[in-house]
Structure 1
Amino acid sequence: MSETPPDSASPAAERRYDVVVIGSGPAAGTVVSGLKDSGKRVAAVDRRRFGGTCALRGCNPKKVLLNAAKVVDAARRSHGVMVEGGNTVDIDWPRLHAFQTSFTDPVPPSRVDQFREAGADCFAGNARFTAADTLVVEPWDVPGGDVPAGDVPGGEVPAGEGGAAPITLRFEQVVIATGSIPVPIDVPGKERLTLSDQFLDVADVPERIVFIGGGYISLEFAHALLRADREVTILEATPHILDPFDHVLADRLADRTRGLGARIECGVKLTAIEDAPDGSLIAVAERENGADGETLRISCDAVVHGAGRTPAVESLACDAAGIDCDEQGVTVTDELVSTSNSRVFAAGDCAGLGHPMLTPVAEAHGDAVVQAILTGTPAAPNVSPLPSAAFTEPELAAVGLTAKEAEEQGVAFDLLEADIGTKGALRKRCEPCAGYRLLLEPKTGKLLGAHLLGPDMAELINLFAVAMKHGLTLADLVAVPLTYPSLAAEILQDAFDQAEQSASTGASKAGLS
């Protein structure tokens, strides 16, 4: 706990802490909880409502929308085959939004309570470094949930409440866990862009939406909106959606998404957002194929930013503390220690190690920082193998190397792949869009990578992550009695049969071309 502070209304108010944590998402939460009972004086600072992006503006609320899409999609796929009336099932977006907020609204007070129970003081406002061991928490004037500086009032962080004067915090160590923000898109009309977290705040959604970027943010939103019968367009600058997922399966998912009614344009770049005479918008894009590039003009009601995120460190004034940063975030050692200020750790999306911006990574970073603070011996976080998923419907999931990555790194592999949409487990679900691609070490049969497309693959990929973690072979997995009939049993047996056939023919790469 902190020592008794001076009058916090004074501009010179100062408090001293052993550890200050900037942020309140999964990395920050892991650090604060991990320092409970350590005897250290801890403070937590966030410029927005406590809880972080994942819980409030990202994964968790978006998953509520996608669960609705899953229900609707299953009903529609089954219409005329297993059920009647499935094609009339639709998403009630205002009701769905209300259900979504039932998960997000309790987060800020709960997170503040969690931090305080761990012995941390909580401050609402923007942190700005003023020296190598000092930062100021000051008012933040951006609307939409940001808050002024001061102690968090009443366990909540509503806009317009809290102390109005800057507060100085001195620290022995500081953990920068500020997460990420959308990558700036600098085109004429950029002020008309809707950010993904703003989109989650909308109680109802317009009829025509253009998504900029073809990553998981855009695809997941698109799959919810398509089941709500909205008109969706996705503009992606690269040749494939969902890079760096396996391109073969990602392309199959793109075809499935087009089949749901989406327009997907790859190899195009947004150049402007214009107002239309009727009050709607026009997204202007150029097809990037040289001097003869085609101009696309797409009428819509909203243009949503889904073109990636960047570390949220710019507002921290890191230079004042001698903290080096680059486009990947805070420049750190493999052990998450700043290379230029040894008092400083960075964790999660803003740690400049190039790790994926995923919640399990942030939590692993937080664990490593806690151990370094408690023991004085920094250690690298354990973030491999790392499964990931796009929660579309069907889902695309991955762990380990893709075939492209293996080839680029010169890693030998056997490839096992199949379209399983006509096989029993998927046919019973009326889902033809399903497949797998497995990469095996040629001599040992150990898994190098697993890539799955189909319903519930975000769950099944965890089996392959465990296998990779413990160095299991495909034969080891097949030897385990699994529930039957199930997707896991069907995929593993199909892949094992392929491997056996490949071994008998002496092929260097098993499977389909």
Structure 2
Amino acid sequence: MKKSFDVVVIGTGEAGSTVAARCQAAGRNVAIVDSRPYGGTCGLRGCDPKKVLVGAAEIIDRRSRMQGRGVTGDLRIDWPELIRFKATFTDPFPRQQEEMLVKEGVETFHGRARFVGERSIEVGQDVLDAANLVVATGAWPRKLGIPGEEHLTRSDQFLDLQELPRRIVFVGGGYIAFEFGHIAARAGATVTILQQGDRPLKQFDQDLVARLLVRTHDAGIDVRTGAQVTGVEGTPGNFRVTAATDSGSEVFEADMVVHAAGRAPEIDDLDLSTAGIEVDRHGIRVDDYLRSVSNPAVYAAGDAASSGGLPETPFAQYEGGLVAENLLNGDQHTTDYRGRASVVYSIPALGAVGMTEQEARAEGLSFDVKQADTSSWYSARRVAEPASMYKVLIEKGSGRILGAHLLGPEADEFSNLFALAIRADIRADALREALFVYPTQASNMAWMV
């Protein structure tokens, strides 16, 4: 059946749902499509369920740190019970998301979409024509091209494990490896992280990463750098992971092997070439308005777009809102990623806001770097956290906050404050004079700038 709409959105994550809801509310006739349960990565397979597991792991770690400081007794993670608790967040979410869209008046479709023309897609037996289409299909584990790749467990599968394997090897040293690795270690698993390059978490400040690596080792996690995985063989419970290292070929035995070597836009089977949509390795090529550079009827947002944003929920929400505004009012709004923030939910968390030192120097900026090990500060000593550091970049003369890099208790919430300061152009002098509640992490800001 052929149907016509003003806007058709492919993908029901944060970017896609934002576009659909805003355009429908403004009076447009909107359809939305997804081949998987409605809700996207964050609510179902990423941020939200992951943070539930992180919360449990943090409790175990904090109890361990506070032993001999007034806390006694044993605690452990009951993994099946924790996964059941996680499911109370994820199980109702697809129905809630679809009902929300339907209530708004959006017509919903289920199935894998593919382009059959510049302004048309096919979903099952339906052909949907639209004045504009928005691709917001998110990302998927990138292909590694190694023998035995089919044995790797995806991050979404990890979040549904009914039993936690005893020995886990993570292929790759990014967000997934450090977040899930720290969770698994606190739940009693033996964890190994195999990082191909010489530095894990390359987009984060390396001084802070080095301190996190010490803390990670102390948690019993073996992080191997310069370890390029060349193959996986065996069966669940009896895998052999082969890696090329400086000392030759090494074999790591595991009950489960997890893909943690990065994600790629999930766009390969959309037949984008049929619609004349150009792509690169980062996704659909878009301009500053998030419109396809080669097909003006198509926009892209979130992980599917080669936009320069980070593969995180706030960027997907932001880009979805920007696409909606441009669809409704003409291309008037361009991307602005000032104060971009990113956090690794390791234990403790590692945050990065704004520029790194290398990026600031590349732009020719003159700045001071304020940094310190804060493990002796009250906010860290109170919870016995030995890994607590910061680095803040302040432009000379203007007092602009260029970047902030944080490791330690509540680094995620602390990152939000620096993101606000950068986005709202709150200068260092103003932060020094702020009357923060004490004792809180925020009250440290006056001493950090």
- Range class of TM-score, shorter chain: over 0.9
Instruction: Work out which of the residue numbers 142, 149, 159 in structure 2 matches 1:200.
Output: 159
Structure 1 SS opposite 2:65: helix
Taking a change above 3 Å as real, the CA distance of residues 281 and 102 of structure 1, as seen in their structure-2 partners, is same
Give the conservation status (yes or no) of the 8 Å contact 1:337–1:345: yes
* Equivalent of 1:98 in 75, 79, 84: 84
What is the rounded CA distance, in whole Å, between the counterparts of 1:491 and 1:379 in structure 2?
A: 32
Whether the aligned pair in 2 keeps the contact of 1:394 and 1:455 (CA below 8 Å) is: yes
The amino acid of 1:45's aligned partner reads V
Residues 438-487 of structure 1 deviation map (CA, whole Å, 9 limit, x = unaligned): 11102222211101100111001111111112222222101011111222
Alignment partner, residue 162 of structure 1: none
What secondary structure sits across from 1:396 in the alignment?
A: strand
Distance in structure 2 (CA, Å) of the matches to 1:469 and 1:39: 31
Q: Do residues 286 (structure 1) and 240 (structure 2) align?
A: no
Instruction: Provide the TM-score with structure 2 as the length reference.
Output: 0.97
Distance 2:160 2:310 in 1: 25
Match of 1:389, SS?
strand
1:326-362 CA distances to partner (integer Å, 9 max, x unpaired)? 2111111111111111110001111112321111111
The Cα of 1:37 is off from its aligned counterpart by 3.2
Choose the corresponding residue for 2:113, options 117, 124, 127: 127
Report the CA distance between 1:279 and its aligned residue.
5.3
CA shift at 1:249, angstroms? 0.3
For residue 426 of structure 2, the aligned residue among 472, 486, 511 is: 472
Query: 1:35–1:118: 8 Å Cα contact kept in structure 2?
Result: no
Mapped partners of 1:311, 1:329: distance in 2: 6
Q: 2:61 aligns with which of 65, 73, 76?
A: 73
Alignment of 1:162-201 (within 5 A): 166-201=125-160
Question: Following the alignment from structure 2 to structure 1, what is the Cα–Cα distance between the partners of residues 335 and 307?
Answer: 11
Larger Rg: 1
Q: Is the 8 A contact 2:338 2:422 kept in 1?
A: no
Q: Deviations over 1:285-306 (max 9, x none)?
A: 112x5xxx52221111011001
Q: State the one-letter code of the partner of 2:390.
A: Y
> What's the counterpart of residue 111 of structure 1?
97
Residues 1:370 and 2:324 aligned together: yes
Specify every segment of 5 or more residues in structure 2 that has no aligned partner in the other structure, as ranges: none
1:181-223 C-alpha deviation (Å, 9 max, x unpaired): 1111111111111111111111111000001111111111011
Q: Match of 2:400?
A: 446
SS of match in other structure, 2:25: coil
Report the CA distance shift for 1:294/1:404 in structure 2 as closer, same or farther (over 3 A): farther
User: Contact 1:335 / 1:381 at 8 angstroms: preserved in 2?
Assistant: yes
2:127 and 2:227 mapped to 1: Cα distance? Answer: 47
Select the residue among 427, 430, 433 that pairs with 2:384.
430
2:333 to 352, 359, 379: 379
SS for the counterpart of 2:228 is: strand
TM-aligned CA deviation for residue 491 of structure 1? 4.7
Give, in whole Å, the separation in 2 of the partners of 1:319 and 1:134: 13
Corresponding residue for 1:83? Answer: 71
In 1, Cα distance between equivalents of 2:167 and 2:46 = 22
1:462–1:14 Cα change, 3 Å:
same
Match of 2:228 in 1: 269
Q: Is the 8 A contact 1:31 1:370 kept in 2?
A: yes
**Correspondences of 1:203-282 after superposition (within 5 Å):** 203-275=162-234, 280-282=238-240
* Corresponding residue of 1:45: 33
d(CA) in 1 for partners of 2:313, 2:406: 20
After TM superposition, the structure 1 = structure 2 runs for residues 300-311 of structure 1, keeping only pairs within 5 Å, are 300-311=254-265
Aligned-pair CA distance for 1:240: 1.8
Rounded to whole Å, the distance in 2 between the matches of 1:134 and 1:304 is 37
Change (3 A) 1:267 1:80: same
TM-aligned CA deviation for residue 378 of structure 1: 4.3
**Following the alignment from structure 2 to structure 1, what is the Cα–Cα distance between the partners of residues 198 and 443?**
34
Equivalences, count: 449
Q: Secondary structure at the match of 1:194?
A: coil
Give 2:232's aligned amino acid: I
Matched letter for residue 437 of structure 1: K
Q: Is the 8 A contact 2:434 2:446 kept in 1?
A: no
Contact 1:51 1:107 in 2 (8 A): yes
Letter of the 2:411 counterpart: M
**Identical aligned residues as a percent:** 39
Aligned counterparts, 1:53-72, within 5 A: 53-72=41-60
CA distance in 2, matches of 1:69, 1:106: 24
Corresponding residue of 1:24: 12
Q: Give 3-state SS (helix, strand or coil) of 1:35's partner.
A: helix
In 2, the alpha carbon distance for the partners of 1:470 and 1:42 equals 34
1:125 deviates by 0.3
Distance 1:392 1:477 in 2: 28
State the Cα RMSD in Å.
Answer: 1.4
1:99 match: secondary structure: helix
Residues 465-504 of structure 1 correspond to what in structure 2 (within 5 A)?
Answer: 465-493=419-447, 495-496=448-449
CA distance in 2, matches of 1:428, 1:221: 26
In structure 1, what is the Cα distance between the partners aligned to 2:280 and 2:135? Answer: 14
